[in-house]
Amino acid sequence: MRWREPRTLAYLAVFGTLWGAWEITVGSVLHLINLPLKGTWLAAGAMTLALTGRRVVRVPGALLMMGALAALLKVFSFGGVVFSPMVAILMEALLAEGVLWLGRERPWAYPLAGGVALLWPPIHRGLFQALYFGTEVYQVYLQLARQVTRWLPISLHHLVWALVVLMVLQFLIGMGAGVLALHLARRIEPRP
């Protein structure tokens, strides 16, 4: 497919809109029920949709275009500031597209792209908390970690390892989204 083909534009519109609708609807529900790691689950579903669309379209930059459309649609979210989620969507799209570009769109690059994209939600949360509350928020977290080590029989380096394990789990969930996207794309790829 090429950029100017109507079929390419239609797929970009469909998958970008699906991604945006996912962010608006599921994102609102996850925030209402206050599910732990809601950014992870939201990003995993989004990456499944986006990587499926990207595999079907197979045009460099298509995932960025879908992400831009999803971020634009996020303006229509229910209640409140949407700047932070819009940045998250664009960063996930940029990271995934970058991995696909480096991997030359080989099948193994799709799980890797999903994994790398899912590393962004916890990083995003940390960066935007500092933006909203100032860098003092990191001191609050450090004090909280020290207090936890007083309450429980663990040391500070155990908490660091817990964060490493969390990031590895994020990556593995993202890889799962990439694998699922490959399977879904095979089912819906256009026939010549």
Q: Report the number of distinct structural domains present in the chain.
A: 1
Look at residue 24 and tell me if it is in a domain: yes
Nearest to 31 by CA among 21, 20, 42: 42
Look at residue 23 and tell me if it is in a domain: yes
Look at residue 133 and tell me if it is in a domain: yes
Look at residue 116 and tell me if it is in a domain: yes
Residue 67: which domain range? 6-188
pLDDT tens digits for range 105-135: 999 999 999 999 999 999 888 888 877 778 7
Look at residue 1 and tell me if it is in a domain: no
**What is d(CA 78, CA 121) in angstroms, rounded to the nearest whole number?**
20
Look at residue 176 and tell me if it is in a domain: yes
pLDDT tens digits for range 15-47: 999 999 999 999 888 888 888 888 899 999 999
Look at residue 48 and tell me if it is in a domain: yes
Look at residue 85 and tell me if it is in a domain: yes
**What is d(CA 165, CA 169) in angstroms, rounded to the nearest whole number?**
6
How much of the chain exceeds pLDDT 90, in percent? 57
Burial class of residue 137, CB neighbours in 10 A (0-12, 13-18, 19+): middle
Nearest to 178 by CA among 56, 59, 51: 51
Chain-centre distance for alpha carbon 31: 16
